[in-house]
Amino acid sequence: MYPRVERYRQSWSQRITPDPSETRRIERWLASARVFLAVSTLVAIRMDPTELGHSWAAYGLFVFYLANGILILMLLRRRQQSTPAFRLLVHAGDITWPALISLFAEGPRTPFFLFFFFALAAAAYRWGLWETLGTAAGEVALLWIESFVLNHFVAKTGGLLPWHALAGLHVHVFQPERLFMLSVYLLVMGLLLGYLAEQQKHLRAEKSVITGILSRIRVEAGLNGTMQQIFGEIASMYGASQLLIASQEAHSRRVFVGEMTCSPGRLSELHWVDSDPDKAATYLSEFPGEVCHASFDNGRSSILALDHQGNAAPSSLETISSLRTLHSFDSVIVLAFLFGGEWRGRIFLLNPHWRGDRQEELRFLLNVMRQAGPAIYNVYLLHRLRRRAGAAERVRLARELHDGAVQSLIAVEMQVDVLRRQAESGKEVGEELGRIQGLLREEVLKLRELMQQMKSIDVDSQRLLGVLNDTVERFQRETGISARFVTDIEELDMPQRVCRELLRIVQEGLVNVRKHSGARHALVRLGSSRDRWNLTVEDDGKGFPFSGRFSHEQMEEQGRGPLIIKERVRLIAGQLTVESTPGQGTRLEVTVPRGGDTTHAL
């Protein structure tokens, strides 16, 4: 079940509606620009006071505009959201102000013409083409109305206006020729800014749709579920009646065809089948371009194909006609895809419907596949890696059980059979039973250690010290080897993944003490300094077969030291030092920089 997303297609030719937080940010940016423009104009007037003449009404209007801009900025900083009514009221003020101040200015040659430009830019930034043109038309209408009104009063008063407050008016600005040129300036500027804003809205809409499509990718859904989500979304967007996916694996050359039936409000599950070899050639034959659209209507047919760069490509209806022999449709979109060189194929949208220019729609589909393809391929690689890792882990587990527990149990079975025969002949079997008991105890410990390694660890800096102490105590109880955990850290601020790796290092070190050292005592110590953490694991056993102190690099060069511990130390960007004295014991020192972290989780 998928919701239809026709709203995306509408947003292709219309602006997308921003969320409230985005709208509030836009209004705050415009308010800051309004105050900046007012202050800049004030500087210009200061440099040339003749721009406003000597009319106190002009100065009053300008002071009012500046105060209004500051008030709007303060309101937007305090309000949590900007309502449509508030935005329209502010925009109406932006339209009215240039018309009023133009009564006292000289037209487009004055700095006050920037206020006309600001009103148009604000409309373009908020909305789009038609609102910007409407703003330009509103400014032109106000200018013409002012011209007629002023000319009417001038004609009635014989060239003198009755209001002393309007003595600074520049009536000659409103002569028809000047007014016509100013109107042309505003309309052309409104058209240009509106067109640019509309194209920007289209780009934002495209990114919004692609982001929505990519957000449907779920690693846990697997490759099939991911393709069903993404391609099902595309089918819903275009209102297709059916979606077909034909894919071929590069190595095996096998062709798989997936089918998804679409109906209003719902899509069927994506069903895959091995395609017949004869039909496979039809699905994977050379269709025109990277994407194409073909339609058949009352005996008339048309086709448009684009190459990988979005340019028109040579097209032919021959392969489309072959496809119609397998599926009945009146129109089709064919889109090619390539996943990492391992899978190639095509997507077929049968009987699609949309609004807008065909070439723009096909370019959009190219962009969708260009961005969705790598994401789908990453899901495929991740699941293949997980399968291989799972298989490798199962092989390791089987080897551990075979080489350890299974072999030991076979030996025990054979020894029990020998004891049975000895018991039948009346011989003493107590010593042999003790040896078997020790062997079984050893295998129990091995199985527990194997289970401990398989168990996922969820430990952080708050729990690490307690978990380390419990690990050492359990080691002492199960092995009989005296062991202690010592630390001078009261509060630990270690990253979680570093905590996990250090715990694994301690567990592996104790396992080595039990298996190989023959020690009677073991000590685990965790300390810290300003720039690093220090972990040591030492025992009084027989030590390694080499003597001396060796760094991580030296052990790598000579192929010495505990392999698993070296690997885990490398994962946390740490350094391992091993000090061995044959017959006296071993000391492992791990230092981890405070900036270190694991490269990946195990």
Whether residue 290 has pLDDT greater than 80:
yes
* Three-state SS at 293: strand
327 contacts 350 by C-beta, under 8 angstroms: yes
Tens digit of pLDDT for each residue in 337-351? Answer: 887 777 888 889 898
Whether residue 9 has pLDDT greater than 50:
no
Q: Are strands 271-274 and 255-263 parallel, antiparallel or unpaired?
A: antiparallel
May I ask the CATH class of domain 457-593?
alpha beta
Q: Assign 535 a pLDDT band (cuts: 50, 70, 90).
A: very high
Closest CA to 38 of 98, 91, 82, 88: 98
Q: Structure tokens of 547?
A: 């003597």
CATH architecture label of 219-385: 2-Layer Sandwich (3.30)
* pLDDT of the residue at 536: 93
* Three-state SS at 561: coil
371 contacts 355 by C-beta, under 8 angstroms: no
HSE toward the beta carbon, residue 108, CA cutoff 13 A: 11
* pLDDT of the residue at 589: 93
109 contacts 50 by C-beta, under 8 angstroms: no
* pLDDT of the residue at 341: 74
Location of structure tokens 């492992």: 588
Q: Give the contacts of 544 (CB within 8 A, at least 6 positions apart).
A: 560, 561, 578, 580, 582, 586
Closest CA to 537 of 587, 485, 592, 600: 587
Whether residue 484 has pLDDT greater than 90:
yes
Whether residue 4 has pLDDT greater than 70:
no
* pLDDT of the residue at 522: 93
Q: Structure tokens of 226?
A: 């991911």
Q: Assign 598 a pLDDT band (cuts: 50, 70, 90).
A: very low
Greatest mean pLDDT among 73-82, 218-227, 321-330, 522-531 = 522-531
Q: What percent of the chain has pLDDT over 70?
A: 74
Ramachandran angles phi, psi of 199, nearest 5° = -65, -40
Q: Structure tokens of 326?
A: 């397998």
- Cα separation, 349 vs 366, in Å, equals 14
* Three-state SS at 245: strand
Tens digit of pLDDT for each residue in 93-141? Answer: 888 877 777 666 554 455 667 788 888 888 888 888 888 888 888 888 8
Domain spans in the chain, listed from the N-terminal domain onward? 6-212, 219-385, 457-593
* pLDDT of the residue at 521: 92
Q: Assign 402 a pLDDT band (cuts: 50, 70, 90).
A: low
Whether this model's pTM surpasses 0.85: no
Q: Assign 12 a pLDDT band (cuts: 50, 70, 90).
A: very low
